[in-house]
Structure 1
Amino acid sequence: MDTSSAAARRVDLGLALGTVVVVALTVGAGVDAERAPSPVAYVFALGFGAVLLVRRRWPVAVLVVTVLGIFVYYALGFPAIGQALPAAAALYSAAELGRTRTALVLGGLLVGVAAYFRIGEGLPPTYLLGYELLTNVALVAAAVALGVSVRVRRASRADQERARVAALAEQAAEAGRRLQAQRVRIARDLHDSIGHTLAVVAVHAGVAAEAVGRDDEVAAAAIAHVRDATGSTLRELRSTVRLLRAAGDDDAGGTAGMGGVPALAESARAVGLDVDLRIDVADAAVDPAIGAGAYRIVQEALTNVLRHADARRVEVVAAVADGWLDLRVRDDGRGPDGAGGGGQGLRGMAERAGLLGGTLTSGRGDAGGFVVHARLPARLSS
């Protein structure tokens, strides 16, 4: 038996014992001193309490049995115990368990029948209306009102608990969505970073392979570039792992930002690509998340040029105007069949720009080659 069930049984037992004690004491008080109490009257008192043990399962039946028991008790001529007193707990139980109308009807019936017979016995109407009837009506009303109050409070607590559970479920769902978004962002960042590094490594490895045995100095320089590129990427991977282990979120997506774009340009220049870098963006001009997004877009665009475009020159231009970061990466390669063959890379850049509230377009430039154009809000909306 769980805790709530045990508590309910204790309440039922308390009501039953309380009813037995109160009715039994009333029976004893109503017996003339010269006459011994009738054992049957006390059996009725025990019965009025015993039926309350099943009040939760059959609240209406318990109330009906109690009212009929009171009628039988008085019909047998036992000492007066009050018409509403033995039924108080049964009336309360019916109202508590949602049978308010039934409790009021049967309570009114009990008081009305009792009043009728009391008048028939010759009880003065003034006494009946001024004391006994008023007392019985007040007792019935109080028992029903208490039952309704308990039921309303219980329903209110249940509603609050449901609201709390729903709020917790929503918080868990939101945490899951944020975790999924974090995973997607990390996957995209790792794809951009490692893809760029592998493109640089592939070019330098090719140069080294061709130079070995013919120009060892060139081969050594190419291998050094491979070492530098892989070392930088390994440092970024370690930084990402530290970020994942740290508590809290990092909306900026790591330490990459517009300040890291010159290093990307140097990496591309090291493999023979002429990079014209024109960055007119102050450190505080854009939010960290915007700067990180712009960095990744430049990184992916340069990676596509190295992989697909067969270009010799790339122009990277970035500036902030009217609350927007305008970013262009233009090459002189094969155009849509070259850098445009990036496929997943172009889609990833467009998705990243969209998540930040901006746009990204790509296509053949007016003077040939391929252009990636991103417009990102300088500040994230609150």
Structure 2
Amino acid sequence: MFPTRAAQVDARYSAVQGWLLDTVLAISLFATLAAMISANLGSDRGPQVVPYLWALMLGSLMLVRRRRPLVVLGITVLSLFIYYAAGYPVVGLSVPAVAALFSAAEFGRGWWAIGAAGLLLVVGYGVRLAEGQDVALLLVGYELANDVLLMAAAIALGTGLRLRNQLRENSARLLWATEERERALAQAAITTERADIARELHDSLGHQGTVISMHTNIARESMVTHPETARDALEVVQKTNGAMMSELRRTVRTLQRREPSPAPATLVDLQRSLLAHLPIDVDTEITLPGELPRHLEATAYRIIQESLTNVVKHSEADAARIAVTTGDGQVRIVICDSGPSRRADTGAGGPGYGIRGMRERAVNVGGHLTAQQEDNGFVVRAHLPLDYPPTRPDPDGRVGGTR
């Protein structure tokens, strides 16, 4: 993922802010050490340039502390030993090293900072005590406590700042990941809804289109010899076309969110809306102990609708059989016709969208579906569990194509 313009601006601002902070830290460290060197405590050599250059070097190291915190820490400790070995004015142990200790702890080198502080204290105070100074009690009781506290504070401050930065970065990553997840979920919801609408349009309008096509052929063939039959067929075409246009307008309004989704179809509607105008005989056997869940009944309706549409479009059979039963905690649906297929290459290209759509509907309610040629004709079998929860608060059967 490429950084946004706002992220690039924030990165540049943070870089400038860090550079300014390091510059202020470098100047402060140099000024503090220069003032202490000017006091000329513990030395009889008088003012010299080298101590000030040493102070300038320690201050300059702050400008690279972010990239090389361990190098800065190592140079500081080593140069401090050399400084005292040369007999230059006393500047203490903690003040020259505090910035390097803070930097090491801030950038994830806390244990190195603790080790460097311990080394400075052991070597520095060990050498002074070994020289037999008379101020051993003062040295241990006063200066040691101050140096330990100052070094510990620097390390603790650096560690705290590092943890704060890590928390801020982790929070930013979590926020970004949450936003990405929300976007992915929104896109998945849109994709699922589009697939649902595509299945609905394919199943409902495809069925109505098939009815219109078949009755148009009937009207054309019987126009001269059986005008009454032609008029009845054209009336069916007119009614079916009106239903198709209503379905399209309702779908458009649903897409525009100007009205809720229509109520799902039920198995009770089979005889009235599905079987009434089909140009084939349909033997229906529905044996149910009671009402089915809405999402399950709507799924069963759409599977039956698409199966019968396929019979009309792709089979030469003049009859079909539907059986809907329950048992073992599931609904069993069987739709079969005796065929044969209208196409010589049936099955050569694999299942079409209609069968795929039926399988998707069955899978989306926890079931499965098969559609294949058997000895007694083409058979669609669906098994839908009764206890599978709906995937929507108000399911309308749009969960879940041609041979």
Instruction: State the Cα distance separating 1:52 from its structure 2 match.
Output: 0.8
Give the residue type in structure 1 aligned to 2:301: Y
Query: What is the match of residue 359 of structure 1?
Result: 368
SS at 2:332 equivalent: strand
Please tell me whether the aligned partners of residues 208 and 222 of structure 1 are also in contact (alpha carbons under 8 angstroms).
yes
Query: Is residue 2:276 matched to residue 1:269?
Result: yes
Query: What is the match of residue 199 of structure 1?
Result: 210
Query: What is the match of residue 98 of structure 1?
Result: 108
Distance 1:318 1:298, change over 3 A: same
Distance 2:91 2:222 in 1: 115
Distance 1:308 1:29, change over 3 A: same
How many residues align? The count is 371
Distance 2:340 2:280 in 1: 19
Structure 1 residue ranges without an equivalent (≥5): none
Query: What is the match of residue 62 of structure 2?
Result: 52
Distance 1:290 1:53 in 2: 70
Q: Which has the higher contact order (CA 8 A, sep 6+)?
A: 2
Q: Trace 1:49-88 onto structure 2 (pairs within 5 A).
A: 49-71=59-81, 73-74=83-84, 79-88=89-98
Query: Is residue 2:313 matched to residue 1:307?
Result: yes
TM-score, normalised via structure 2 length: 0.75
TM-score, normalised via structure 1 length: 0.79
Instruction: State the Cα distance separating 1:172 from its structure 2 match.
Output: 3.8
Please tell me whether the aligned partners of residues 372 and 378 of structure 2 are also in contact (alpha carbons under 8 angstroms).
yes
1:51-107 deviation per Cα after TM superposition (whole angstroms, max 9, x unaligned): 212211222332233334434554565543321112101111122223334433433
Distance 2:82 2:244 in 1: 94
Please tell me whether the aligned partners of residues 260 and 295 of structure 1 are also in contact (alpha carbons under 8 angstroms).
no
Query: Is residue 2:386 matched to residue 1:375?
Result: no
SS at 1:327 equivalent: strand
Give the residue type in structure 2 aligned to 1:273: I
Instruction: State the Cα distance separating 1:123 from its structure 2 match.
Output: 4.0
1:236-279 deviation per Cα after TM superposition (whole angstroms, max 9, x unaligned): 2333333333399x9xx86432157336x545433443345555
Query: What is the match of residue 165 of structure 2?
Result: 154
1:210-244 deviation per Cα after TM superposition (whole angstroms, max 9, x unaligned): 23344444333322211221222222233333333
Q: 254, 258, 262: which is aligned to 2:266?
A: 258
Q: CA RMSD in A?
A: 3.9
Distance 1:66 1:369, change over 3 A: closer
Q: Trace 1:1-382 onto structure 2 (pairs within 5 A).
A: 2-27=12-37, 44-71=54-81, 73-74=83-84, 79-119=89-129, 120=131, 122-246=133-257, 255-258=263-266, 261-262=269-270, 266-277=273-284, 279=286, 285-287=292-294, 289-318=295-324, 323-330=329-336, 333-335=337-339, 337=341, 343-344=351-352, 345-362=354-371, 371-381=379-389
SS at 1:10 equivalent: helix
Please tell me whether the aligned partners of residues 59 and 90 of structure 1 are also in contact (alpha carbons under 8 angstroms).
yes
1:134-191 deviation per Cα after TM superposition (whole angstroms, max 9, x unaligned): 3323333332333233334433443444444444444444444444333333333322
Distance 1:247 1:19 in 2: 69
Query: What is the match of residue 7 of structure 2?
Result: none
Distance 2:119 2:19 in 1: 30
SS at 1:81 equivalent: coil
Give the residue type in structure 1 aligned to 2:330: W
SS at 2:293 equivalent: coil
SS at 2:90 equivalent: coil
Q: Comparing both structures, which one devotes a greater share of its residues to helix?
A: 1
Distance 1:147 1:243 in 2: 59
Distance 1:302 1:246 in 2: 31
Query: What is the match of residue 401 of structure 2?
Result: none
Please tell me whether the aligned partners of residues 259 and 283 of structure 1 are also in contact (alpha carbons under 8 angstroms).
no
Give the residue type in structure 2 aligned to 1:147: G
Distance 1:83 1:329 in 2: 92
SS at 1:2 equivalent: helix
Distance 1:126 1:284, change over 3 A: farther
Give the residue type in structure 1 aligned to 2:266: M
Distance 1:266 1:180 in 2: 30
SS at 2:331 equivalent: strand
Distance 2:97 2:262 in 1: 73
Please tell me whether the aligned partners of residues 290 and 379 of structure 1 are also in contact (alpha carbons under 8 angstroms).
no
